[in-house]
Structure 1
Amino acid sequence: MAGMTVSRPAVPASPEHALAPPTLGHVLEVVQGLWPRELAEPWDAVGPVAGRPEAPVRTVLWALDPVQAVADEAVARGADLVVTHHPLLLRGTSSVAAVGHAAAAKGRLLHTLIEHRIALLAAHTNADAVVGGVSDVLARAVGVTGALSPLTTSAAGTGAEGIGRVGDLPEETDLAAFARAVHAALPATAGGVRVAGDPAQRIRRVAVCGGAGDSLFDAVRASGADVYVTADLRHHPASEARETAASGDGRPALVDVSHWASESLWLEHGARALEAALAERGLGVTTLFSDHRSDPWDFLVGGERADEGSHA
């Protein structure tokens, strides 16, 4: 639930201790190679938010969201760098003061990090777009084993990069069983997994988009997907998608999951990629994962099936 902590196993650090610590500048060079800024969406705000390039980075804390609890955790656990998926300053602000304005919470967070000499950087839609990125990890988690293709391709990429992924399950299943598998594969959240479609509908081809994905319905339909797994589906886009499906062959069914859950699985993959790329340079860090669950919802009331009652 939001704000609760969960225990995570300690990451063995012995191999990295034989390697020299990088500077933040080294880390930024490696991050650019792993998740190029050019692959980020034009509206995005990726890269470093705080930190000096010459500062040593011995310990990296990974988290999905840059929230105060994560900043406090970074201080308590001795991190030199916090890497988040979501950017802190995605929406503009004219001040980072810790009081007196609408973005004061962001100001407090930045003050906490800077006062303790902790750097902050974000890998967001650039980490979504790369091969092996957020949606690749989600697709594998929900059972896709075959080749993956992007739903939309990045203009700055080679054709393999882009937002969302589509691929096939090893064998056909029904929507109800698939939805249960999705629920089992993702971290538990208050909102659970919402499903639109006939429970008996046959499922083989799966489209996914980690995070908010209701802008991709045209691409999902073009991909021939039987089901679309994503997060933050709003009423009107989802309703229109259902109407379009009903006028055809009923595809795609919709599986709406927690934004946090759909992306959090990538953190470990991102951390391992960074470790490996640093090791190629003779550099190493100790990796930590945040214990803070930043899914914003605490509990769910109700949750009836749609045919058990309705309200306008």
Structure 2
Amino acid sequence: MTVRVQDVVAALEKAYPPEFAESWDAVGLVTGDPRAAVQRIAFCVDPVEATVDEAIGFGAQLLVAHHPLLLKGVHGVPADTSKGRLVHRMIRAGIGLYCAHTNADTAAPGVSDALAEALGLRVREPLSPHEPGARTGLGRIGELSEPEPFETFVRRVAHGLPTTTWGVRGAGDPDRPVRTVAVSGGAGDGLLEAATAAGVDAFVTADLRHHPAGEHLAVGDLPDTDVPALVDVAHWASEWPWCQQAADIVAEALPDTVEVLVSTRRTDPWTVHASGAADPGRAPA
């Protein structure tokens, strides 16, 4: 049986229905012939030079990415632009590109399920369900088998995700017991109120900004008010576990003749980290 791009697309869209995508999103087949034969498929978070290199080296006929390559409308893809160059490289190499973005965020299982699993959480329900009682929606609420101090939990997160220069940061009482946890792959500060309303002990997400995080923690200083501690991770790291989930779904749906590869290229943009040595009240020597 010859497996074709359209067969892979069908498996992906059964797991991550395109109708789950936000109206502003761009999901689906970006490049490639739906009837082209497929023997090898690569999976990544970002469709960039490094992951395209990896897909070409693997001999893939299809690259499945979480982030869209062409999110905004374009009128051309000339090869002297960064994204146009990628499009031309993939076409010349016979590699199609498929993107599953916010539809993979909200599907069940989806991006946040994969993140929860990487952290050793048992998923209970969505953090922000599509509708009451639904299994689909943004984020997930899960729980640990046993409570542990927040400082220990932050280390758990660091050990469960791939290493990045950004690292893992925690905001909260280091001794606070953590049992219930909300997670959201990708930028999740829009779900801070939902995490608070859920009554969880900690919230793990990416790209937390100074003011939303600070204002969130300040609410916890009010009488009889509790808010979850915060764990901030690199955007790429929070979504990378999804690649294995997607690869497993496709591998299970297709014949054994199809090989899959989960990218190991770190495409987090941050490359240098330095810690300040001076106290804020003293000028550096």
Is residue 272 from structure 1 mapped to residue 242 from structure 2 by the alignment? no
What per-residue deviation string (whole Å, max 9, x for no partner) do you get for residues 224-276 of structure 1? 11110000011221122111222254421100001111111121111011111
What per-residue deviation string (whole Å, max 9, x for no partner) do you get for residues 157-190 of structure 1? 9711011001221121111111111111111111
Q: In structure 1, which of residues 72, 78, 92 is the aligned counterpart of residue 53 of structure 2?
A: 72
Q: 1: distance between equivalents of 2:210 and 2:33? A: 44
Q: 2: distance between equivalents of 1:158 and 1:174? A: 31
Is residue 37 from structure 1 mapped to residue 14 from structure 2 by the alignment? no
Q: 1: distance between equivalents of 2:133 and 2:24? A: 21
Q: Using structure 1 for the length normalisation, give the TM-score.
A: 0.85
Greater relative contact order structure (CA < 8 Å, 6+ sep): 1
User: Shift of the alpha carbon at 1:222?
Assistant: 1.2
Q: Using structure 2 for the length normalisation, give the TM-score.
A: 0.92
What per-residue deviation string (whole Å, max 9, x for no partner) do you get for residues 2-61 of structure 1? xxxxxxxxxxxxxxxxxx341111111221111100111222111110011110011101
Describe the shift of the 1:121–1:134 C-alpha distance in structure 2 as closer, same or farther (beyond 3 A): same
Match of 1:149 in 2: 125
Is residue 200 from structure 1 mapped to residue 162 from structure 2 by the alignment? no
Match of 2:229 in 1: 253
Match of 1:63 in 2: 44
Correspondence list, 1:1-312, <5 A: 20-99=1-80, 104-145=81-122, 147-154=123-130, 159-247=134-222, 248-279=224-255, 284-302=257-275, 309=280
Deviant stretches of 4+, over 4 Å: none
SS in 2 for 1:148: strand
User: Shift of the alpha carbon at 1:205?
Assistant: 1.1
Q: 1: distance between equivalents of 2:129 and 2:262? A: 30
Match of 1:11 in 2: none
8 A contact 1:232–1:258 mirrored in 2: yes
Give the alignment's Cα RMSD to 1 decimal: 2.0
Task: List runs of 5+ in structure 1 lacking aligned partners.
Answer: 1-19
Describe the shift of the 1:162–1:200 C-alpha distance in structure 2 as closer, same or farther (beyond 3 A): same
Task: List runs of 5+ in structure 2 lacking aligned partners.
Answer: none
